[in-house]
Structure 1
Amino acid sequence: MNHLPETGFLRLSQIIGNPDAEPPIPAIIPVKKSCWWAGVAAGRFPKPVKLGPRVTAWRVEDIRALIASV
């Protein structure tokens, strides 16, 4: 598993990965973007935090809890 920081925020590309990035970003939770957002809407995945008008992120603690619950 990827090394997650103890606290802070993760952007969506850090969670679901981005193979086109340079260097490629491996997925922590390997799902497509549409599946992730559907899971957020259904309550399967944690709700995001708006850090700015164009910046959405998730708390590391929430992602760790999601991984632990699987």
Structure 2
Amino acid sequence: MKPKKPIQCVETNNFDDLPNSALVRITDLVRSPKNKHKVAPLPISAATVWRKVANGTFPAPMKFGARIACWKVEAIRTWLDAQANSDKEAM
């Protein structure tokens, strides 16, 4: 039996530095009231993210347990690009 490859964790404070295959949690996507100086890629609250997931207007996360949900960076970037393109079309 081959030993499993260890999962490589990448620690960065910049969302743009992450590879598309990286997984991020909600705390990596939105700014926390406890840490107001942290830069976050989404200008919405965690509650709004979950509301949008429920409405089908935001990518659904991958669930790794009852309390663990992660999004692929690629899905978030695709959603952000779609939002930016829809804003341009509205102008």
Consecutive aligned runs of 4 or more in structure 1 exceeding 2 Å deviation: none
**Structure 1 gap segments, 5+ residues each:** none
- More relative contact order, 1 or 2 (CA 8 Å, 6+ apart): 1
**Structure 2 gap segments, 5+ residues each:** 1-13, 84-91
TM-score w.r.t. the length of structure 2 is 0.63
> Partner letter of residue 10 of structure 1?
V
CA deviations over 1:25-59 (Å, ceiling 9, x no partner): 32211111221111111111100111233211111
Q: Does 1:15 align with 2:29?
A: yes
Q: Does 1:25 align with 2:43?
A: no
TM-score w.r.t. the length of structure 1 is 0.79
Larger radius of gyration: 2
Q: Residue 39 of structure 1 contacts residue 45 of structure 1 at CA under 8 Å; is this kept in 2? A: yes
Count of matched residue pairs? 69
